Amino acid sequence: MSDRGIPLVELRDISIAFGGIKAVDHVTIDLYPGEVVGLLGHNGAGKSTLIKCLSGAYQMDSGAIYINGSKAEIRNPRDARRYNIETIYQSLALADNLDAASNLFLGRELVTPLGFVDDAQMEAETRKIMGRLNPNFRKFKEPVKALSGGQRQSVAIARAVYFNAKILIMDEPTAALGPHETQMVAELIEELKAQGLGIFLIEHDIHNVMRLCDRASVMKNGQLVGTVRVGEVTDEDILGMIILGKRPDRGLC
Amino acid sequence: MSNIVTSEAGKKRPLLRTLEIDTRLLGMIGAFLAICLIFNLITDGRFLTPRNIFNLSIQTVSVAIMATGMVFVIVMRHIDLSVGAVLAMCSSVMGVLQVRYLPEHLGLGSAWIMPITILAGVITGALIGALNGWLIGYQKIPAFIVTLGGLLIWRNVGWYLTDGQTQGPLDQTFLLLGGVEGTVGSMVSWLLALAFSAAAIWTIWRARQAKIAHEFPVKPLWAEGALMATAVVAILGFVGILNSYAIPVGRLMREFQLRGETMPEGYVDYYGLPISVLILIVIAVVMTLVARRTRFGRYIFAAGGNPDAAELSGINTRLLTVKIFTLMGVLCALSAMVAQARLANHTNDIGTLDELRVIAAAVIGGTALAGGVGTIYGAVLGAVIMQSLQSGMAMVGVDAPFQNIVVGGVLVLAVWIDIQYRKRTGEKI
């Protein structure tokens, strides 16, 4: 991989255990700018746990995170945001009682010169970005619990995209979406990739993986089975890695 | 409302929607007016007199101040059962200082007694609140348990501070904060009423301008005008009533005598706004600003709506817990200040059962125990409703035990109505 220069993110030898169970066991993966790396595996394989070390939700027991080649200290979600790491969680992590703008800017509110939150300005910015991501979005005043699954998803995506993320983590972004919205997310991923972002994509749907990812890292029982170049392997190879933990004889990197 | 809905619904939109009035608020005001009218009927017009409205106002202040803080606590999915006990603790600190220590060192009637006393009370409340918040936020002990313990602890710590004795008489300047002794007079009251009215009009106007600046849909001008008119009428009406409550002639004569003058024949003067009510107004406005216009307030509501989301958004929810309980403690201290000044001394049973009144006020005012939802004005209105019920029944001559039965019933009924309301509007309960 050295021919590609310094990786945007390198998770090196990460381990984390919960009460004696090794959820992530000495896993090393990396991500380059303009690349989508799929994270695959059964439920409980440790994908979400691994990625939460990067987003600051969990603290790893051992290992190190390198961003642009230098060691990064990520102890909480604030630290992760400082490194321009944005995460779209599977649960979407929205405060249901607040409106779209309040959720989009949660923790990073725009304020007036007097230090009060500037709701009008935030709503205007929200309308702007939503106009780009989901032009049909109209419910700016309602609490997000009044929104459909797809609309909630677009709020979560807008939040990640708005703040100039360099590293984007998406945990099953299309799980709750219809075909049309799935297509929209796919197009967005292509667009962000073209802008040079690095994207970790946790995904169960093997077709989405084949379509969207450049490389795929497969985990099983907390360990890394291997990382393959998606273009050089078949569906069956990847399924074999997920189900049997069998490393294919081609495309490994 | 979104653009499409606005244009589709056109002129046929219901009046309430056009005015963008909270129907729950309207319901509460309706309930309050009904209570007033019924008691007024039963008491042959003695309930809605300037005198009774004045008394009602100053009796409500203590519970209402704490209820504004309880909104934040409940919105964050916690509870504070210790507010009555913390009030008693702060009151005992302030009582002991005024009666025993400060006069000894500063001289009786020193101008420093009041500020030092208040500061000491506020610090006491803040420290107890911070301790509660630390135990709840960082040590993860449920708020119910921490404050249930506090309910037993703090009143009795206060008992030891005072040896169980009533502390009085209090400092003369301090007594002004209670209400009866301290009113600002009719002239200042009218000026304040005008200032409040102007502020209300300005706030509504500025909100409209902000919307226009961002090209958001706005209410029709007449709707804004109607809102402004309602606000102004309510403010001027309330102050007008308090300004028509005349100070008894005997007291006026005493005041003139104290100054070595004789009272002119036919002289009248009016109470006007009590200082304690002014304190409540300031606190309610500040707390509303905090809830709606500050990051701190936004984080409280976010953490109440979804604690995990708040945490993942980089909000330090543990520290936030410490902050809201500290704020609650400070408000308990301010309540203690008003309560003991109104009663003119500190007694060990001051604020007994206040925790229940405060929680009831917040809940009647629409604060959801599930968290994430609540308003300051609702809580204040809830406190007013509770107090009118209680003093109305006392006026009618209802036995004390039966008063409590009614208040308890009303609390359960109010929550039931709230749940029905939320079901109908499709809100999560």
Decide: B328 and B83 in contact? Cβ < 8 Å: yes
Burial of B16 (0-12, 13-18, 19+ CB in 10 A): exposed
In the prediction, which pLDDT does B219 show?
A: 84
- Which residue of A74, A76, A96, A97 is the best one to mutate when testing the B interface, meaning the one whose CB has the most B CBs within 10 A? A97
Residue B161 banded pLDDT, cuts 50, 70, 90: very high
Q: Which pLDDT value is given to residue B329?
A: 98
**A138 falls within a domain:** yes
Query: pLDDT tens digit string along A78-137?
Result: 999 999 999 998 888 899 999 999 999 999 999 999 999 999 899 999 999 998 888 888
Compute the nearest-CA separation of A168 from chain B (Å): 15
| pLDDT (0 to 100) of residue B426 | 64
Domain match, A48 and A157 both: no
Cis amide bond preceding B169, omega within 30? yes
Pair A126, A189 in one domain: no
- What chain B holds in terms of domains, given with CATH numbers, is 22-32+39-182+274-424 (1.10.3470)
Closest CA in chain B for residue A76: B314
Please check whether residue A91 lies inside any domain of the structure.
Answer: no
CA–CA separation, A41 vs A243, rounded Å? Answer: 8
A139 plus A169 within the same structural domain: no
CA nearest neighbour of A53 among A72, A36, A32: A72
A53 phi and psi angles, rounded to 5 deg? -70, -35
Give, in order, the Cα–Cα distances in Å from B271 to each of A184, B11, B190, B258.
67, 47, 12, 18
Question: Which of B306, B373, B426 has its CB closest to that of A94?
Answer: B306
CB-based burial label for B169 (10 Å; 0-12, 13-18, 19+): exposed
Cα distances from A72 to residues A68, A79, A170, B307, B428, in angstroms, run: 9, 9, 20, 26, 41
Does residue A182 share a domain with residue A251?
yes
pLDDT, tens digit, 9 for 90 and up, residues B257-267 = 888 888 888 88
When mean pLDDT is compared across A25-39, A59-73, B16-30, B327-341, the lowest value belongs to B16-30
Residues A253 and A174 reside in one and the same domain: yes
Q: With bands split at pLDDT 50, 70 and 90, how would you rate the model's confidence at B333? A: very high
What pLDDT is recorded for position A105?
A: 95
Look at residue B167 and tell me whether its pLDDT is greater than 80. yes
Final residue of a structural domain among A141, A164, A187: A164
CB B270 within 8 A of CB B45: no
- Range 102-141 of A in CB contact (< 8 A) with B: 102-103, 106-109, 111, 115-117, 120-121, 123-124, 138-141
| Residue B3, pLDDT above cutoff 50 | no
Q: What's the rounded Cα separation, in Å, for the pair B146 and A100?
A: 35
Domain final position from A164, A188, A221 = A164
Beta bridge partners of A27: A14
Residue B300 contacts A where some CB pair is shorter than 8 Å: no
A55 contacts on B by Cβ (under 8 Å)? 312
Whether A89 is in a domain gets the answer: no
Q: Would the CB atoms of A139 and B2 count as touching at under 8 Å? A: yes
Name residue B393's amino acid.
M
SS3 B292: helix
In a domain, residue A90? The reply is no
What is the rounded CA–CA span in Å between residue B356 and residue B373?
Answer: 19
Give yes or no for a contact between A109 and A121, defined as CB atoms under 8 angstroms apart: no
Pick from A55, A76, A117: CB nearest B298: A117
Say if residue A250 is in the same domain as residue A185: yes
Per-residue pLDDT tens digits for B193-237: 999 999 999 999 988 888 888 888 888 888 889 989 999 999 999
Domain match, A80 and A182 both: yes
Same-domain pairing of A181 and A56? yes
Do A75 and A4 share a structural domain? yes
Where a domain ends, among A139, A164, A189? A164
Give the CATH number of the domain where residue A226 resides.
Answer: 3.40.50.300
The tens digit of pLDDT for each residue in B109-154 reads 888 999 999 999 999 999 999 999 999 999 999 999 999 999 999 9
**Contact assignment for B295 to A111 by CB distance below 8 Å:** yes
Q: Within a domain: residue A218?
A: yes
A220's CB contacts (< 8 A; 6+ apart) are: A41, A42, A45, A241, A242, A245
The boundaries of the domain holding residue A24 are 1-84+165-253
- Same domain? For A169 and A53 the reply is yes
Whether B186 shows a pLDDT value over 90: the answer reads no
- Residue B35, pLDDT > 60, answer yes
Percent helix / strand / coil, chain B, rounded to 5: 75, 0, 25
| Count of structural domains, chain A | 2
**Count of pairs with CB atoms under 8 A, one residue in A, one in B:** 90
A174 shares a domain with A80: yes
Round the average pLDDT of chain B to a whole number and report it.
Answer: 90
Same domain, A183 and A152: no
